[in-house]
């Protein structure tokens, strides 16, 4: 396939999970790809896997000044940018009474503030037919206990997709969102629960998914490819939900 032939793309949080799988598929579709990752280990692993097929940039997704650095790296490498997939994020859960201001600010910075200022920094180099896809979540729609901060950040990102779609379409930039449900990625292993608790949580979540399984990162990646491609040229300000029917219950 070559749906992204000769296009340039940036994927934030592209060193694991949905981001890394999307990078693989973007490359297979003919795109020149850059990805960001926050840790030295994940960046090194992604470089080892992708080799010279991708530009790998270490960057803190929640650092505003760092977004300018990423934008300049893209300008120097590609000259312009056709596709941005905002995928980097943090998922932290807990009862509302246990949240500290520092933890709250961290989630806001990574999931909302950083993406906003990255888009701002990239505006001068977006092409005239660029596509931005924001990775939100079905948590923006459902009242899942202990997800208050995560859900509000994803709700903010979803609102941003809708408002920027109206603001940027005059520049030829389409903005859309994907909202995954439970996807089998390393995210769930990073929540700090024991193996037994993690399995119990996974079993409980799976019981709420009508198709009876977690989604696969490749299923999200294929949706992102569609929204980023010229096939979706008439889709602006939309949200595609990828959750096996979970949010319809």
Residue 109 tokens, joined: 């910075």
Residue 223 tokens, joined: 């949706």
Question: Distance (Å, rounded) from C-alpha 105 to C-alpha 91?
Answer: 13
Residue 181 near residue 215, CB atoms below 8 Å: yes
| Nearest by Cα to 216 from 244, 190, 241, 183 | 183
Q: Which of 16, 150, 161, 179 is catalytic?
A: 150
State how far the alpha carbon of 197 is from the alpha carbons of 13, 66, 102, 143, 183, in Å: 26, 36, 26, 21, 18
- Please report, to the nearest 10 degrees, the dihedral formed by the alpha carbons of residues 232, 233, 238, 239 taken in order: 30
| Nearest by Cα to 152 from 142, 162, 161 | 142
In 10 A of CB 72, how many CB atoms? 12
Task: Read off φ and ψ for residue 72, nearest 5 degrees.
Answer: -70, -35
Tell me the CA end-to-end span of the chain in Å, nearest whole number.
36
Residue 150 annotated among the catalytic residues of the structure:
yes
**Those residues with Cβ within 8 angstroms of residue 68's Cβ, 6 or more apart along the chain or in another chain:** 121
- Which residues are tagged catalytic? 150
């Amino acid at each position: 396939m070559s749906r992204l032939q000769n296009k340039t793309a940036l994927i934030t949080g592209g060193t694991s999970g949905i981001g890394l799988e999307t990078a693989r598929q973007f490359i297979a579709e003919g795109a020149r790809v850059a990805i960001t990752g926050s840790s030295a280990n994940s960046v090194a692993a992604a470089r080892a896997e992708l080799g010279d097929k991708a530009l790998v940039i270490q960057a803190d997704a929640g650092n505003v000044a760092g977004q300018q650095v990423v934008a300049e790296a893209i300008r120097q490498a590609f000259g312009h940018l056709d596709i941005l997939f905002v995928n980097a994020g943090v998922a932290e859960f807990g009862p509302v009474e246990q949240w500290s201001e520092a933890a709250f600010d961290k989630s806001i910075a990574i999931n909302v503030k950083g993406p906003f200022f990255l888009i701002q920094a990239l505006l001068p180099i977006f092409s005239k037919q660029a596509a931005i896809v924001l990775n939100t979540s079905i948590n923006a729609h459902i009242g899942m206990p202990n997800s208050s901060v995560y859900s509000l950040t994803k709700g903010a990102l979803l609102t941003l997709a809708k408002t920027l779609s109206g603001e940027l379409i005059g520049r030829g930039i389409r903005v859309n969102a994907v909202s995954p449900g439970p996807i089998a990625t390393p995210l769930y292993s990073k929540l700090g629960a024991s193996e037994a608790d993690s399995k119990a949580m996974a079993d409980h979540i799976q019981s709420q998914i009508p198709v009876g399984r977690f989604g696969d990162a490749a299923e999200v990646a294929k949706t992102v490819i569609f929204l980023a491609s010229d096939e979706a040229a008439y889709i602006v300000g939309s949200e595609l939900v990828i959750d096996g029917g979970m949010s319809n219950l």
